[in-house]
C-alpha cells in the first residue's frame, strides 16, 4: 500500500462498560442531519470457529475433513470445526532409549511438525508432557521400547539399575509410585523441561502448556499403580507431601515463562491452588461422569472447587480461585472416548439427554474455553445441544451498534462510536485489536485504523442469568490523502501488529477476506452425520465406534503426519476465510 494513501492518527480512544437497550436484531440504519448513521448489525447464531475456544482436535490436526488433508486416518464427519489441537508426548517419545536428553530428529518429526502444520491452517496447539504411561496402555510409537513405562530406558537404569544391556525398561508399581520423590528424577525432569522451554517457549502457535510430568498420564494421580491397600490413587494418599511436588510446578513456570499454562485439578492435594495463585489456569478430566455412587459431576468437581479456597484444609489456598477465569483459561476433557459413547444405550456409562445438558451447563458455569472431546463421533441427537454449547463456550463477540459519520472530507476525522458485547462465558486471553478499514468497490484496501481497545477486558456476564455488559469504544481517525469516492467500511479483530483478521464476529453481514475479496462460507454446515453406529467396548471398559477405534489404533504415531500437494487446497482454504465484516459505506469528499 502506498504511504500516501494512509495516514491514520488516533485522536481519542475511550472505553467503558455501559448498557445499551436497542435490539441487536434491528437491521434498519438511520441517518441524521449531521450525516451520522446508526447501524445495528443483525446478530448471528452460527457456530464460530475462533482461536482458543470450542472443541479441540485430539492427537490430530483436523478431524472432520472428508479429504483428510494430512493423512490422519478416517475423517470424523460429525465433529465440529476446531481452532485448537491437543497433543501429548511421553518423555520416551522425544529421546533415544539410551539417552535421556532430547533428540533433535524426534523433535522435528513430532512437536515441530505439529506446530508447523497447525500454524499453516491457523490453529493453535496445547501440549502436555508426561513421564508415566497408563498401566497396560499399548505403545504405538515405533521409536519407543515396547516395555517402556514412559521415561527413557537410560533414566530407568540411572534410577533403578535396570533398563539397558538387555534388562527390562518397565517400571514396577513400586518404582512408578515413588519415582516422583527421587531427587535424581526431579533433576532430570528439570533438565528435560528446561530444554523444551528453550525450544518452544513463546512460540506463537503454542496456546498453552498443560502441566503434566507427575503421575499417570501426567494427570497428578497414580491410577493403576497405587497399592490396593491405599486409600485412593491420589498422591497424598501414597506418601507425597506438597513439598515433594512443588518443584515440578516451579520447573514448568521457570521453563515456560512466556507461555500460558494450566494444571489438572484433583480432589487430593494442594497443588492446583498453588498453581493458580502463580498465574496458571485449571482443567479437570472426566467431564460427563455420572456413574452411580461417587462420580466426578456430583462429587469430584464440587470437592475440588471447594478445596481450592478452603483455608482450613488447604495449605496453599487460592481465595480468588472462582474468579481466575477472568484472566486465565479453564478447560475440560470428556470422560469416555467420545460423545457417541455417552449416547450408546448399551454402554453401562450411558448418559441421559438431561445429563448431557447438565454436563454442558456445568462447563459453562465454570467459564470454560476448550473441551477435549477426543475427536470422537457425535450422535445426531446431540447436535442441537452441541450447537447451543459451542455458541456459549469461551468468548463470543458481537457488535451491537455503530454510530458513524458517513461523509468525511479529506484532512477531517471519521468518528466511530461502537458498542460491543461478549455473549460467551469467558474472555479471549489474547488481545485481537479492533481494526477498521476502508475498502474500494474493486476490493483495494486504502486505509486501516487499529483501536487501542483491549478485548481481553471485555468480560461476559458472571453467570447465565445476567445480561452481558456492553463496552463502548469512542474513537476518531484522520482521513488524509485518500481519493474522493465511496468506500466500504469493514471491521475485523486482527492478530496483533498485523492486518489479518483472526476472530469471526457474531453478526450477520457480508464478509471479506484479508485481501478485500468477498467470502461465502461453506454452506454444508458444521456437521455431517456418521453412518457407522456400531460400537465396541475397549479393554478399559470404555466404548467407542469401531471405525473411530481403528483410527485411534492406526494413527497414534504423529510422525506420520505430513503435508504434500494433496494438503495445499485445504491449507489455502483455511488461509482465505473471510473474517472482515462489512458495516456501511463512507463517502470521502
Model confidence over 543-578: pLDDT tens digits? 333 333 333 333 344 556 788 999 999 999 999 999
* Rg of the chain over all Cα atoms, to the nearest angstrom: 26
Instruction: State the alpha helices, DSSP H only, in 494-583.
Output: 546-554, 565-574
Q: What would the grid cell of residue 183 be?
A: 531427587
- Position of cell 450422535? 379
Mind listing the pLDDT tens digit for each residue in 455-478? 999 999 998 778 999 999 999 999
CATH of domain 3-47+397-519+580-588: 2.70.50
Mean residue pLDDT of the chain comes to 89
Mind listing the pLDDT tens digit for each residue in 420-464? 999 999 999 999 999 999 999 999 999 999 999 999 999 999 987
Mind listing the pLDDT tens digit for each residue in 113-164? 999 999 999 999 999 999 999 999 999 999 999 999 999 999 999 999 999 9
pLDDT(178) > 50: yes
pLDDT(316) > 70: yes
Domain with CATH 2.70.50 in the chain: 3-47+397-519+580-588
Domain with CATH 3.20.20 in the chain: 54-88+104-134+186-394+527-572
Cβ atoms 437, 499 nearer than 8 A:
yes
Mind listing the pLDDT tens digit for each residue in 78-106? 999 999 999 999 999 999 999 889 999 99
First to last CA, the chain: 21
Q: What would the grid cell of residue 441 be?
A: 468497490
Q: What would the grid cell of residue 224 be?
A: 493403576
Mind listing the pLDDT tens digit for each residue in 226-237? 999 999 999 999
pLDDT(8) > 60: no
Residue 522 pLDDT: 67
- The closest of 69, 49, 72 to 548, measured between CA atoms, is 72
Residue 280's pLDDT band, with cuts at 50, 70 and 90, is very high
Residue 262 pLDDT: 98
Own/partner long-range contacts of 4-8 (Cβ < 8 Å, ≥24 apart): 4/481, 5/446, 5/447, 5/481, 5/482, 6/446, 6/447, 6/448, 6/480, 6/481, 7/478, 7/480, 7/481, 8/447, 8/448, 8/449, 8/477, 8/478, 8/480
Question: From residue 131, how far is each of 128, 172, 192, 216, 222 by CA, in Å?
Answer: 10, 14, 11, 8, 12
> What is the mean predicted confidence (pLDDT) over 476-492?
95
Q: Which CATH architecture has domain 54-88+104-134+186-394+527-572?
A: Alpha-Beta Barrel (3.20)
Amino acid at each position: 500500500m502506498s504511504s500516501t494513501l494512509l495516514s491514520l492518527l488516533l485522536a481519542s480512544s475511550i472505553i467503558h462498560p455501559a448498557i445499551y437497550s436497542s435490539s441487536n436484531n434491528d437491521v434498519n440504519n438511520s441517518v441524521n442531519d449531521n450525516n451520522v448513521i446508526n447501524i445495528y448489525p443483525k446478530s448471528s447464531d452460527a457456530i464460530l470457529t475462533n482461536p482458543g475456544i470450542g472443541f479441540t482436535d485430539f492427537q490430530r490436526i483436523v478431524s472432520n475433513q472428508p479429504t483428510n488433508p494430512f493423512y490422519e486416518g478416517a475423517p470424523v464427519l460429525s465433529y465440529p470445526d476446531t481452532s485448537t489441537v491437543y497433543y501429548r508426548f511421553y518423555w520416551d517419545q522425544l529421546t533415544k532409549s539410551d539417552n535421556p536428553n532430547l533428540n533433535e530428529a524426534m523433535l522435528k518429526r513430532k512437536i515441530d511438525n505439529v506446530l508447523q502444520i497447525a500454524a499453516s491452517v491457523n490453529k493453535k496447539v496445547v501440549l502436555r508432557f508426561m513421564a508415566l504411561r497408563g498401566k497396560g496402555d499399548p505403545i504405538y510409537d515405533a521409536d519407543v521400547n515396547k516395555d517402556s513405562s514412559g521415561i527413557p530406558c537410560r533414566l530407568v537404569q540411572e534410577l533403578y539399575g535396570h533398563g539397558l544391556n538387555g534388562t527390562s525398561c518397565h517400571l514396577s508399581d513400586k518404582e512408578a509410585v515413588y519415582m516422583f520423590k527421587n531427587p535424581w528424577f526431579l533433576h532430570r525432569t528439570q533438565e528435560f523441561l528446561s530444554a523444551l522451554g528453550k525450544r518452544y517457549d513463546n512460540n506463537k502457535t503454542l496456546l498453552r502448556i498443560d502441566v503434566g510430568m507427575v503421575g499417570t498420564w501426567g494427570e497428578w494421580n497414580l491410577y493403576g499403580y497405587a497399592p490396593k491397600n491405599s486409600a485412593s490413587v491420589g498422591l497424598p494418599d501414597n506418601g507425597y507431601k506438597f513439598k515433594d511436588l512443588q518443584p515440578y510446578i516451579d520447573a514448568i513456570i521457570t521453563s515456560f515463562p512466556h507461555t500460558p499454562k494450566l494444571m489438572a485439578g484433583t480432589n487430593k492435594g494442594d497443588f492446583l491452588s498453588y498453581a493458580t495463585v502463580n498465574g496458571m489456569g485449571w482443567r479437570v478430566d472426566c467431564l460427563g461422569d455420572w456413574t452411580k455412587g461417587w462420580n466426578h459431576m456430583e462429587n469430584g468437581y464440587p470437592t475440588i472447587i471447594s478445596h481450592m479456597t478452603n483455608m482450613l484444609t488447604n495449605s496453599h489456598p487460592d481465595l480468588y480461585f472462582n474468579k481466575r477465569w477472568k484472566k486465565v483459561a479453564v478447560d475440560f476433557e470428556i470422560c469416555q472416548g467420545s460423545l457417541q459413547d455417552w449416547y450408546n444405550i448399551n454402554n453401562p456409562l450411558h448418559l441421559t439427554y438431561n445429563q448431557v445438558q447438565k454436563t454442558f451447563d456445568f462447563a459453562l458455569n465454570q467459564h470454560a474455553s476448550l473441551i477435549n472431546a477426543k475427536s470422537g463421533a457425535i450422535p445426531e441427537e446431540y447436535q442441537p445441544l452441541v450447537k447451543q454449547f459451542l455458541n456459549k463456550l469461551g468468548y463470543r463477540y458481537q457488535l451491537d451498534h455503530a454510530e458513524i459519520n458517513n461523509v468525511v472530507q479529506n484532512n477531517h476525522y471519521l468518528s466511530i462510536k461502537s458498542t460491543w458485547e461478549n455473549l460467551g462465558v469467558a474472555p479471549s486471553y489474547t488481545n485481537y485489536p479492533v481494526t477498521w478499514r476502508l475498502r474500494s468497490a474493486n476490493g483495494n484496501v486504502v486505509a486501516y485504523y487499529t483501536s487501542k481497545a483491549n478485548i481481553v477486558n471485555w468480560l461476559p456476564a458472571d453467570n447465565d442469568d445476567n445480561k452481558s455488559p456492553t463496552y463502548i469504544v469512542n474513537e476518531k481517525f484522520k482521513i488524509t490523502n485518500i481519493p474522493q469516492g465511496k468506500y466500504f467500511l469493514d471491521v475485523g479483530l486482527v492478530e496483533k501488529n498485523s492486518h489479518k483478521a483472526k476472530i469471526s464476529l457474531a453478526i450477520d453481514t457480508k464478509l471479506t477476506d484479508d485481501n478485500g475479496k468477498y467470502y461465502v462460507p461453506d454452506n454444508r454446515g458444521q456437521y455431517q452425520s456418521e453412518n457407522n453406529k456400531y460400537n465396541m467396548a475397549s479393554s478399559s471398559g470404555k466404548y467407542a465406534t469401531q471405525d473411530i477405534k481403528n483410527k485411534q489404533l492406526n494413527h497414534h504415531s504423529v510422525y506420520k503426519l505430513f503435508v504434500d500437494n494433496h494438503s495445499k487446497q485445504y491449507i489455502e482454504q483455511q488461509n482465505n476465510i473471510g473474517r472482515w465484516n462489512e458495516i456501511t459505506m463512507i463517502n470521502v469528499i
